[in-house]
Amino acid sequence: MSLRNTLSAAVAATLLTVPAFADGIMVMDPYARAASPAAKSGAAFMMIHNETGQDDTLISASTEAAARVELHTHIEVSDGVMQMTEIQGGIPLPAGGTHHMMRGGDHVMLMGLTGPLEQDATIEVTLTLEKAGDIVVTIPVDNARKPEAGAHGDHSH
């Protein structure tokens, strides 16, 4: 890799670590992944902090990287068996609170990928909040990232 490419990659990585802000909503540590290069679906994860002073709700998400996007979570259906399901009514974002969207919990489900989610690429995802409106987030693809400890714990910190 040339020095120019190395510097460009370093600058891009630094810019992607900067949280996205919009009207008091901060999106931190976003990343997307797919199970394999041929996968037809993937997911995006992030932390959303509401600094607006009023409760809000994440009601939907969209991206050109997928034909369909839904807010999903995992629920226990029986004796520890987990099932992924669409979240109806959105994800509450209480004033002053942070909601951690993570593997094994709430996440943005990307179905019908329009292309592979390749390591170190980026996708743009628009999050639509009931009060704050649309927030466009540039999300790096990190297929190598391991789930955080406690991924099956409390999802509404």
pLDDT digits (tens, 9 = 90+) for 91-128: 999 999 999 999 999 999 999 999 999 999 999 999 99
Tokens at 129, concatenated: 């909040």
| 150 lies in some domain | no
| 153 lies in some domain | no
Range of the domain at 96: 3-140
Structural domain total, the chain: 1
CATH number reported for the structural domain that contains residue 58 in this entry: 2.60.40.1890
> What is residue 76's predicted lDDT score, i.e. its pLDDT?
83
pTM beyond 0.75: the answer is yes
- Share the mean pLDDT of the chain: 85
pLDDT over threshold 80, residue 73:
yes
> What is residue 148's predicted lDDT score, i.e. its pLDDT?
64
> What is residue 65's predicted lDDT score, i.e. its pLDDT?
97
Residue 151 or 157, more confident: 151
